[in-house]
Structure 1
Amino acid sequence: MTEPFFDVPGAARPPRPVALAHRGFSPEGLENSMAAFRAAVELGYRYLETDVRTTADGVLLVFHDDTLDRVTDSRGRISGLTAAEVAAARIGGREPVPLFDDLVTAFPDVRLNVDVKDWTSVKSLAAGIERHGAHHRVLVASFSDRRRRAVLKLLSRPVASSAGMTTNTLVFALGNLLPVRLLRSVLRRALRDVHALQVPVRYGPFRVVTHGYIRRAHALGLVVHVWTINDPAEMRRLLDLGVDGIVTDRADLLKMVMLERGEWAGG
Structure 2
Amino acid sequence: MNLEIVAHRGFSAMAPENTLAAFTAAIEGGANSIEFDLQLSADGVPIIFHDETLDRITGTSGKVREKSLEELKQLNAGAWFGEQFVGETIPTLTEALNCFQRVEKFLYFDVKPHCQWSQTDVEKLIQQVREGGILEKCVITAFNEEFLQQVRSCCPEIKLGYFLTETTDYQQQLNKAIKAGNAILSCLFDVVLENPHFVEDSRTQGVDWVVWTVDRPEHFQELVDLGVKRIITNSLIGWT
The TM-score normalised by the length of structure 2 is 0.83
The residue type equivalent to 2:144 in the other structure is S
Residue 264 of structure 1 corresponds to none
Q: Deviations over 1:44-83 (max 9, x none)?
A: 2231000101111111101111121111133321111000
The residue type equivalent to 1:136 in the other structure is E
Q: Distance in 2 between matches of 1:188 and 1:245?
A: 20
Q: Deviations over 1:81-102 (max 9, x none)?
A: 0000000111132210111011
- SS of 1:163's partner is strand
**1:159 to 2:177 alignment:** no
CA gap of 1:92–1:73, structure 2 versus 1, over 3 A, is farther
Q: Distance in 2 between matches of 1:79 and 1:188?
A: 29
Task: Report which of the two structures shows the higher radius of gyration computed on alpha carbons.
Answer: 1
Q: Distance in 2 between matches of 1:251 and 1:166?
A: 22
CA gap of 1:188–1:39, structure 2 versus 1, over 3 A, is closer
Q: 1:31 aligns with which of 17, 20, 23?
A: 17
- SS of 1:243's partner is coil
The residue type equivalent to 1:138 in the other structure is C
Please report the RMSD computed on the Cα atoms of aligned residues, expressed in angstroms.
Answer: 2.6
Deviation at 1:196, TM superposition (A): 1.1
Q: 2:226 aligns with which of 233, 236, 241?
A: 241
Deviation at 1:120, TM superposition (A): 3.1
Deviation at 1:194, TM superposition (A): 4.5
| Stretches of structure 2 lacking an aligned partner (at least 5 in a row) | 80-85
- SS of 2:140's partner is strand
**1:58 to 2:51 alignment:** no
- SS of 1:150's partner is helix
The residue type equivalent to 1:51 in the other structure is D
Deviation at 1:145, TM superposition (A): 2.1
| Stretches of structure 1 lacking an aligned partner (at least 5 in a row) | 1-14, 176-183, 259-267
Q: Distance in 1 between matches of 2:110 and 2:167?
A: 15
The residue type equivalent to 1:39 in the other structure is A
Residue 147 of structure 2 corresponds to 147
Q: Distance in 1 between matches of 2:3 and 2:130?
A: 28
- SS of 1:58's partner is coil
- SS of 2:61's partner is coil
Q: 1:97 aligns with which of 52, 75, 90?
A: 90
Q: 1:120 aligns with which of 116, 119, 123?
A: 116
Q: Deviations over 1:145-181 (max 9, x none)?
A: 22222122223x51111124599855x2479xxxxxx
**More divergent stretch after superposition (25-34 vs 222-231):** 25-34
Q: Distance in 2 between matches of 1:242 and 1:45?
A: 19
Q: 1:200 aligns with which of 169, 175, 188?
A: 188
The TM-score normalised by the length of structure 1 is 0.75
CA gap of 1:114–1:98, structure 2 versus 1, over 3 A, is same
Residue 77 of structure 1 corresponds to 63
Deviation at 1:106, TM superposition (A): 3.0
**More divergent stretch after superposition (122-131 vs 223-232):** 122-131
**More divergent stretch after superposition (111-120 vs 96-105):** 111-120
**Contact 1:200-1:226 within 8 A present in 2 as well:** yes
Q: Distance in 2 between matches of 1:246 and 1:60?
A: 25
| Aligned pairs, number | 226
**Contact 1:25-1:39 within 8 A present in 2 as well:** yes
CA gap of 1:237–1:18, structure 2 versus 1, over 3 A, is same
Deviation at 1:17, TM superposition (A): 2.1
Q: Distance in 2 between matches of 1:150 and 1:244?
A: 28
Percentage of identical aligned residues: 26
